[in-house]
Structures are given as C-alpha cells and as structure tokens.
Structure 1
Amino acid sequence: MSSGTDERVFENDERIRLGIWGLGRGLSFYKMCEALNMDVVAGCDYNEHMRQRFLECNSDAFATGDAEEFLARDFDAVLLATYCPAHADDAIACLNAGKHVLSEVTAFHTMAEGVRLVEAVEKSGLVYNMAENCPFTAPNMYLKRKWEEGLFGELMYAEYEYVHEVLTLSYTYIDGTPIDPGNKPHSWRSWINYHYYNTHSLGPMMYITGLRPTRVVSLPGRQRLPGYLMKGIDGMGGVAPSLISMSNGAVIRNLMGATTNDSHIHRIWGTLGSAEQVDGELRLRLGTGGGSPKLRVQPRWEKHTSLAEGTGHHGADFWVMYFFAREILEGVPAPFDIYTACDCTLPGILGYRSQVDGGIPHVVPDFRSRQDREAFRADDSRQPRYDVERGLFPPHAEPSIARSFSETVRDLVNSTRKYRAFRDWRGIAPDIQEPSQLLGIIDEAIDALPHLQSAQQRARLIIRSCPDSDGARVLAEILELSDEEITSRPEYAQELGRDRACLLRETNASGDAEGERSQSGTSSPS
C-alpha cells in the first residue's frame, strides 16, 4: 500500500522485512510501512476474516493462523499485536526466532513475565520497542521539546486521562465483528482491569518530562457500568485512578477507565509554567504565576508532518513505527525501549495490586537492576481471569441460541445508546443552548428503533433459554437501560415520530424568538 507521498525518511536504502502478528490492531499500521523502509511480507492471525483483510491489502504476502509457521518465515522484525495478556510470551518467542519486536501495549501482564522479557531482550541483542503511541501526538511532542528547553521548569504535578468506554469490544473483535463462536466473550477485553491498560495516559507524562515512576497507590472504586462481564473491582466497567510518585519527587494522577464521559484531558504543571489539553486544544500558562497569561498555541511536529497526518491516533502511530525503524536502521534508541516499557507497564500491575489491597502504596522497581528483578522473578500473581473457554452459557444451552449472543449484545448496546441519548436529553430540552441539536439525536433514535426492537426480542429468547447464565445477566442489564416495556411496543415508532414533529415546532419557535431578540438588540434607537 502506498504512503501517498514521495518524501524520503531515511537515507539508508536497507529494507526491513516485517511480519505482523495480530491482524486486527496490527493492520492499522500497514499504510505507513513503505515510507519507513518496511516491506510487509507475512501476517498471522487465527481469525480467517482478519487474514483475508490482510491479503486484500497485500496479496503477495504470506498469511497463516499458525504462530510457529509464521515465526519460521524469513523476515527481520515483528509488529506484535496479539492479545494483551500474551504479549510477553509472544515477544519472547519472536526474539528467540531472531526477530526484532515492536510490541503493542502493555509489555507484560505479571511481574515475573517482565523479568523474563527483560532478560530475553538483553540476551538477544535485538531491538525491542513498546508501541505506546499517545506520547507522539503533535501536542505531546511539542510539550516534550519545550520541556527539554526548560520552558516549564521542574515537574510539580500532572494528570492525564485515558477514559474510554468500550463495552461492545467485550463481545466483538476490534473491527466490530461479533466474536465467533458467539457464546464466548472477547479473550481479554471482556475481563481485564483497566489498571492493566495504563500506558496511554502514563506514557505521555513520562515522555514529556523524562521521569520514571517510583511508587503507586490506588483506592478501590466499586461502581460499575451495566453490561460488563466481571463484577466488583475486576473487569473494565469502572474507573481505575492511581497516584504515582515520580523520580524527581513530583506526584501525578493517572486515570483510566470506562465511564459515561470518554475523556482525554491532559494537564501538567511545572515550577515555571503549565499546559493543558482540553477538547483538542493546547493552552499554556507562562509567567511563573497561577494568574499569568494563558494562551492557546498551535503545536506542530518538527518533521514528516505530511506522513504523520492521516495515520492512526492523530498521527501518533506513524511515530511509533518511525522510531522502531530508525533504531533498526540507524541504531538510534527509541523512546520506549524494554526498560522504559517496564517503567510504563509496572505501575499498572502494581496499581491494580494496590487497589485490591485497599490502597496500600507499592514501590515501582527498576528492572534495569538485576537486584530489583530478582525480587519478582517468581511473582506471577495477577487479577482473576474470566473462563473464556467455558463461555457465557452452560454446556446444555441450545447452541443456535447461545451463539447468537455476541451479535445480539452488540446490536442491543448500540441501539440502546441511540434511544437513551434521546430520552435523557429530551428530559432537559429547555436547558439545551442549541435546541436544533436534539433533532439529530432523535433522528438517530428513530433509525435505531427497528434494530433495538429486534435485539430486544433476541435477547429475551436467550434469557429465557439460559436465565441463570452470565450472558443472560449481561443482556438483562442492557435491556433495563433500553426501557423495554416502552420501546418494544409496536406503536412506539409513531410516538417517536410525533415527538419529533413537536420538537421541530419547538425548535422553529425558539429560532424565531431568537431572531426577534437579535433584531431588537441591533436595531437603532428611535
């Protein structure tokens, strides 16, 4: 696939033969490879439909569902995007096969895995990078440059967020395709605690300041959103905040989780100045005081803007691949080598542990030190895992009914969200500053209603078939959100239509009144 530009990145003409292991997330990196001296020659995924997508992009490549067959091929490096809890063992397998590794986050899932991974990298002499991408947006790379120039002074405090509600991904693949077979949840997104996915918020704070975490503490929060599989403090259905001490004595707040407000607010305070990113805008406060001028700035990358723009995660994915290729081709160390990957991964594992322990702080070891590693060589403790192979239903469940679960829950969640958006906003319609926006929301609810009613019927069939199953509990929680007694009625479509007509009249009347006020306010005095 062409990069769409003739811009030359490396003077070196050497090509890197790349294999992609995990063709869901992994394939999203594909289009930037050519410009970075990479030729994608192999792909591996156990899902047939993922392999087909891969071959549609690169018909000359080798594709297989067998990892051993994949690693036996002759290529130089692996982009590793397998299941999160498998990253350490899969990365070690790649290193043992003589291949450089760019591993998706996080680097490992237990302390002992981290020890094994560090020592495998050291033994191999090969390049290992963790593909933490959020530090490489234009605003964060701009802040990194200015921090190194001394503009902000020493870090005092920072708080970055990666609050991302991903309920449907508990039951679908990353492209939205329902899990097959449909009576099982996702292999890891259905149960993993959000502390284990801590790097997208912690990584930028580390990258900008050049500091490493030294201690972490997290209090348990027990509230969970409906529809998630794991109860209590496990699973992805709640918030996972932690406070982290940094190597200069500063404190940062690292917030992950699933809430009713996806949020990526970033704020960082130095002894000389501060910065905040809110709703895609970067503002700095400079002048050494809390009331000093705060102005919006326009951050830019220093180079390769045309290549980075349009790639995933606001251009950040390009830089992940760039730093990996540059280290292989030119020997320049990348920001997230194995040791920095450990610094970024460990606070998540220990943050979860602190949460379970009721808020006891944990020291973050430095895995550069063999002595620090030795203390955790046998520490394979981890959060409880859902038994994905057992599935969501008992063995006696009717297969055709149980296997309709993943598609049913996906459709039920998506259509319920459309309905609830209208229902909840309609209740405070007089308070909306731009009432016309509510028309778009009700139009989406009207379009979603047939899908909602179909999903409700399918969900009820599953619940009646296996009322005590985990799948039934999940569906029942979403059905409650959908106001099933109201929305399942055949006449509800007509009621929505009448409500829309009423809203349209109200909006037009509001617009007329606003126009009259505007004219009155601008007319000349008599």
Structure 2
Amino acid sequence: MGIASDIFKTDRRIKLGIWGLGRGQNFINAAKYLNIDVVAGCDYNQHMRERFLKNCPGAYVSDNEDEFLAQDFDAVLIATWFCSHAEHTLKALGAGKHVMCEVTSFFTPAEAVRLVEAVESSGRVYNLLENYPFQMGNMYVRSLWQQGFFGDFMYAEYDYVHECRSLSYTYIDGVPVKPGYHAHQWRSWLNFQYYNTHSLGPVMQITGLRPTRICALPSTVALPGYLGDGKMGGIAPSLISMSNGGVMRNLMGGTTNDSHTRKLWGTKAAVDLTGDVRIRVGASGHGRWLTVAPKWPEMAELANQAGHGGGDFWELFYFARQILTGEKAPWDIYAACDVTMAGIMGVKSSLANGEPMDIPDFRDHAAREAFRADHFAQEHFDPKAIFPAGHDPAITDQFTTVMSRFSSMGGFIGTILVRNVFDGMALYPDLASDQDRFAVIADVRKLIHELPAIASNYREALAIADAYPDAMAAKAIYDSVHSAEMAKVLDTDKTIAELRDWLAAM
C-alpha cells in the first residue's frame, strides 16, 4: 500500500480534532493513511486524555470544549455522549469545522431541523459515522444491487441484537464509571429503537432507499441486571416501509441471544449475509443458492486493519474524500436525518402501542416546519441518582465495579460463567457433540477455580444493596444475583465439592 497521497492524488492534509476520546481514538491509526493528521483531542475524562496523548504524542488535549474548538484544525470527529451529538455538532460547525459525528445525529426532532439547516448554511462537510454498511459483505451486495442484479427491493430482515450489560456500568474501554455510584450517562437507559443505524443503515445504503413509515410494538420484558425499566436490556422490533413500497423488519435490543441476521429479497434474487454470503438466483423461491467470496473494492490491506469489519476505515475514507475532492459521501446530513428520525419515530410508535408513524424527509423545507418545535425525547431516570440522596459513598462507590464483574463480556466471569455451568450441566445428557460436552466440562473446571472470587463479588454487591434496599441500584444487584444461583454461589465450599463430584462422574 502506498503513502496517503497515493490514495487521493494530493499532498493536501486535513488537521483533525477528536471530541470524545473513548470511541474516538479507534480512528487514529487509519487516519494517517488518508491525509489526516490528528492534532487535538477533548474529553472530560482524564484517563481518556492520558490514553490519547500516548497515541498522539505532541497533540493538544483539553477537557475544555471551547478551548479545544479554538485550536487550528479543519475537522472534528464527534464521539461524545449520545444525547450531546447535535449540540456539539452545532458548536463545531459554528467554529468553522467540518464534522463527522458518531451515531446518532441528534436526540430530538427539533434538533434535527436546527442541524440540517446549520449544515446547509455552513458550507461545511457533515458525515454520519455509521460503519455497518461498509463491512465487506454489505459493500459487495451494495455494488451488485446498484448494477440491478437483485431487481426491485421487496423485503429485508436486519438485526442488531447486542447484549452489553456491562456498558451500563463502564466506559467503552471497560473501566468502571466513576464515581461508582453513577451509571453510564446514556447506555444505562436508552431505548434501543434510537440505536437503529447498524441494522437500518445497511439496508438504506445497499438499496439506495429511505425509510418512510414505521410501526414498533412495545416490549416490556427486560433482562435482569439493568437499571430502571431496562430499555437497553429488552427487545426493540419494528416494521419499516421503504420509499419504493418494500418493507424491512428491523430488530434491535439486548436478549439472551446476540443476533446479526442480514437478509434481503429483491424481485430477481435474494441474499443472506448472516454467515457466508449466499445468493439465491433464478428469480424464484426455488432457485439455486450460490456462495460467493466477496472482496474489498480496493485498499483491502487498510480496510482489514480497521475496526467493525473494515467499516471504520471506509467511513473515514469517504469523509476525507469529500473534503479533498468534493465527491459526496454516502452518509450526508439528509441520510443521517432519515435514519435518526426513523429511530425517534420508532420510540414514538412503541409508546403509542404500535401506531404507525410517518418518517419525515427533511430535504423538504415544508416537512421541517412540523418538527421545528418538537422536543420529544424518551423519558428516563437520572443515572446520577440511582441511590437515594445522602447515601454514603464509602459504601456505594463500588457499585459500578461489582456490576461490571457480573456481566463482563467475553471473559465468561461472574453471572455469565455461573449460568453457563449450571445450564450446561442440565443439558449435558442431551448434548449432541463432543465439542459441546468438552466446553461444558471446561466451564465447570473454570468455575471451580473462579467461584471464591465470584462469591466475594456477590457478597460485596449484596452489602451495597442491603444498605439501600429500595434504591434502583439495589434492584439491579438483587436481580443479578438471584438470576445466577445466589444460594449455590454463596455456599461456595459445598458447591465446589459438588462440581468436583460431577466431573469425577464424567
């Protein structure tokens, strides 16, 4: 792969500031190949600022957003709190910066109107940082779709079902939120309808269509261990009409099964990208399935190094390309409004017991007027008030730490490992493969080793809950431990002996 100037055929550089140094730092490595120099950073969190300086020695860094925006750079990447994206974009545009903003673009319809008009009047480039459409399979299918291979869009099913309980209690890098008696600023309460861009976004970009109407039935059942009404720990389905008359089934949420279904049907062919890319040809439900091996259209080496299946590289590439060459990027302000308003209207529909809601097109100046003063937003608890006033921080400051231990992803510790073991043992006689049997045995051995530490965490958590049993935080603790064999975990020596006896009998 050549140097950056080989990509855009120019030596012109873009000076970039990153606002929000958790997610925002994921783009630093790819930037250097795309004529982008990261020269400034901003974050309220000292831990994040220190990490940034290790990744970008000599860069300017501050916790003061006004001083940050006053620095000499051309563009800003906004990866701040979800509900602050519109406010921060408006400030960045006002400071004369180009903007690429993490999902979603705004939190209320009124913010959308202000934002689209600010972008139009600024003359600056605005791109939404939605990366899932630019994963390899989605880009391959998009190319075929644009060639007419699939015919007219009929139907799609896309999922972004991602159970990430620990993110209610940690920053994006897994460090527990501080102070420990606060929950995450938005991941602890957000209705998953808002977070629709990873599923609706690919369908929009593949087909070139926009969403026009949404029906979202409410779902009130949530997983244990979430705060409040558990919107991040429930399911958020919807049906969406697209601008050609086709329909999409969109599914977001957190459940006991992460799911990333990706299927589209056209009038000439259909495709399933859930695993391998399989295309059904023959323009018939009985046509032949063919498995293809998609490839990146170009710059494969750089895309393969980037996060989110290469998507992080491509969204950065399109932004730089638009600034340097003027060629429009896929996620402009209008497409960003389409996908973000679909989420907002999905929330409205679910609150109205599934009543269909039209999704406005803010390319139309007349359509904006109906929403100019619409400040609708999800009602939610205060993540800084999950314990009663006057609580003792010496007791409550460990809350986010103990909760993160319950639900850490990938490491199979805490409640995840406990449930893996006891559920696996219950199913063991009926397991169909040696691989699954070996996996259960490995989990049992791991639990024998980990159980004393897990029991200690249960006790530490219960001490917090018992001190404030009526607190919202206490309910999350009680639900977590009761859902994961509290009695067996706390009777540690007896349970370890029983687990060893089970292994000996295998």
Give the TM-score of the pair, scaled to structure 2: 0.96
Deviation at 1:103, TM superposition (A): 0.2
State the distance in 1 between where 2:285 and 2:190 align: 40
The separation in 1 between residues aligned to 2:139 and 2:234, in whole angstroms, is: 30
Please give the secondary structure, in 2, of the residue aligned with 1:9.
helix
Distance across 1 between alignment mates of 2:303 and 2:473: 42
The one-letter code matched in structure 2 to 1:372 is A
Q: Does 1:452 align with 2:454?
A: yes
1:90-169 alignment to 2 at 5 Å? 90-169=88-167
**Post-superposition offset of 1:221:** 1.1
Within 2, Cα distance between the matches of 1:40 and 1:449? 45
Q: 2:72 aligns with which of 55, 71, 74?
A: 74
Please state how far the C-alpha of 1:255 moved relative to its aligned partner. 0.6
Q: Which residue of 2 aligns with 1:293?
A: 288
Residue type of the partner of 1:96? G
Per mean C-alpha deviation after superposition, the further-off stretch among 245-254 and 406-415 is: 406-415
Tell me, yes or no, if the aligned pair for 2:451 and 2:492 is still in contact at 8 Å: no
1:341 aligns with 2:336: yes
Q: Distance in 2 between matches of 1:47 and 1:499?
A: 47
Cα distance in 2 for partners of 1:447, 1:307 equals: 41
Return the alpha-carbon distance in structure 2 between the equivalents of residues 488 and 136 of structure 1: 47
- Following the alignment from structure 2 to structure 1, what is the Cα–Cα distance between the partners of residues 418 and 315? 39
Question: Which has the higher Rg, Structure 1 or Structure 2?
Answer: 1
Residue 283 (1) aligns with residue 278 (2): yes
Give SS of 1:296's match: strand
- Distance in 2 of aligned mates of 1:276 and 1:298: 13
Q: 1:485 and 1:36 mapped to 2: Cα distance?
A: 56
Q: Conserved in 1, the CA contact under 8 Å of 2:21 and 2:49?
A: yes
Q: CA deviation at 1:10?
A: 1.5
* Paired residue type of 1:411: R
Distance in 2, matches of 1:273 and 1:210, equals 17
CA offsets 1:252-290 (integer angstroms, 9 cap, x no match): 111100010001010000000000022x31100001110
Which of 267, 271, 277 aligns to 2:267? It is: 271
- 3-state DSSP class of the match of 1:236? helix
Which amino acid in the other structure matches residue 423 of structure 1? F
Question: Which segments of 5 or more consecutive residues in structure 1 lack a partner in the other structure?
Answer: 507-526
State the distance in 1 between where 2:257 and 2:89 align: 34
State the match for 1:173 in structure 2: 171
Q: Is the 8 A contact 1:194 1:235 kept in 2?
A: yes
Query: How big is the shift at 1:499?
Result: 2.6
Q: Measure how far apart 1:305 and its partner are.
A: 0.3
* Matched positions, count: 496
Residues in 2 aligned to 1:282 and 1:150: alpha-carbon distance in whole angstroms: 18
Distance 1:123 1:444 in 2: 60
Give 1:451 shift: 2.7
The match for 2:415 is 416
Provide the residue aligned with 1:429 in structure 2.
Answer: 428
- The CA deviation string for residues 210-253 of structure 1, in whole angstroms up to 9 with x for no partner, is 0001111111111111111121xx62111111111111000111
User: In the alignment, is the contact (CA less than 8 A) between 2:240 and 2:247 conserved in 1?
Assistant: yes
* Secondary structure class of the residue paired with 1:39: strand
Deviation at 1:154, TM superposition (A): 0.3
Residue of structure 2 in register with 1:513 after alignment:
none
Secondary structure in structure 2 of the residue aligned to 1:428: helix
After TM superposition, the structure 1 stretch with the greater mean CA deviation from structure 2, 124-133 or 455-464, is 455-464
Q: Distance in 2 between matches of 1:406 and 1:497?
A: 32
Deviations 1:143-189 (A, max 9, x none): 00000111110000001000000111001101110000000100000
Give the C-alpha shift of residue 385 in structure 1: 2.2
Gaps of 5+ in 2: 409-413
Hey, what's the Cα distance between the residues in 1 that align with 2:109 and 2:69?
A: 26
Residue among 389, 397, 400 paired with 1:403: 397
User: Contact 1:134–1:200 at 8 Å: present in 2 too?
Assistant: yes
Q: Which amino acid aligns with 2:362?
A: F
The answer (yes or no) to whether the contact 2:228–2:472 under 8 Å persists in 1 is: no
Helix, strand or coil: the match of 2:273? strand
Distance 2:380 2:153 in 1: 37
Which secondary structure state, in structure 2, belongs to the residue aligned with residue 329 of structure 1?
Answer: helix
Cα distance change on mapping 1:484 and 1:305 into 2, 3 Å: same
- Partners of 2:429 and 2:401 lie apart in 1 by 37
Q: Secondary structure at the match of 2:350?
A: helix
Which amino acid letter does the alignment assign opposite residue 268 of structure 1?
L
Measured after TM superposition, the shift of residue 73 of structure 1 is 0.7
CA distance in structure 2 between the partners assigned to 1:160 and 1:27 by the alignment: 28
Deviations 1:389-433 (A, max 9, x none): 3x2111222111111100011112341111111111111112222
Which amino acid in 2 is paired with 1:428?
L
What residue in structure 1 maps to residue 354 of structure 2?
Answer: 359
SS at match of 1:179: coil
CA distance in 2, matches of 1:500, 1:44: 53
- Residue 211 of structure 1: which of 209, 212, 236 is its match? 209
Which residue in the other structure is 1:235 paired with? 231
* Cα distance in structure 1, aligned partners of 2:443 and 2:279: 35
| Residue equivalent to 2:301 | 306
2:411 corresponds in structure 1 to none
Distance 2:481 2:443 in 1: 20
Distance 1:413 1:442 in 2: 18
Query: Given the alignment of the two structures, is residue 469 of structure 1 paired with residue 464 of structure 2, yes or no?
Result: no
Q: Deviations over 1:355-392 (max 9, x none)?
A: 00011111111001110001100000111122123x21
Look up the SS of the partner of 2:99 in the other structure: strand
Q: Percent identity?
A: 47
Q: What corresponds to 1:519 in structure 2?
A: none
Taking the aligned partners of 2:231 and 2:473, their CA distance within structure 1 comes to 15
Distance across 2 between alignment mates of 1:481 and 1:111: 39
TM-score, with normalisation over the residues of structure 1?
0.92
Which whole-Å CA distance do the structure 2 matches of 1:446 and 1:382 have between them? 47
Q: What SS does structure 2 have at the residue aligned with 1:207?
A: helix
CA contact (8 A) 1:135 1:207 kept: yes
One-letter amino acid of the structure 2 residue matched with residue 381 of structure 1: F
When the two chains are superposed, the root-mean-square deviation of aligned CA atoms in Å is 1.3
Which digits, 9 at most, give the CA deviation of each residue in 1:96-145, with x for residues without a partner?
A: 00000000000111110100100110110000000010000010000000
1:6 CA displacement: 4.4
Q: Confirm or deny that 1:495 pairs with 2:493.
A: no
Note if contact 1:41-1:62 (Cα within 8 Å) is conserved in structure 2.
Answer: yes
CA separation in 2, counterparts of 1:147 and 1:412?
A: 44
Give the whole-Å Cα distance in 2 for the aligned partners of 1:412 and 1:160: 29
Matching residue of 2:193: 195
Indicate the larger mover: 34-43 or 450-459: 450-459
2:252 is matched with which residue? 256
CA contact (8 A) 1:418 1:448 kept: no
Stretches of 4+ aligned residues off by more than 4 angstroms: 4-7
Structure 2 CA distance for partners of 1:401 and 1:245, relative to 1, 3 Å: same
Does structure 1 conserve the Cα–Cα contact (< 8 Å) formed by 2:76 and 2:97? yes
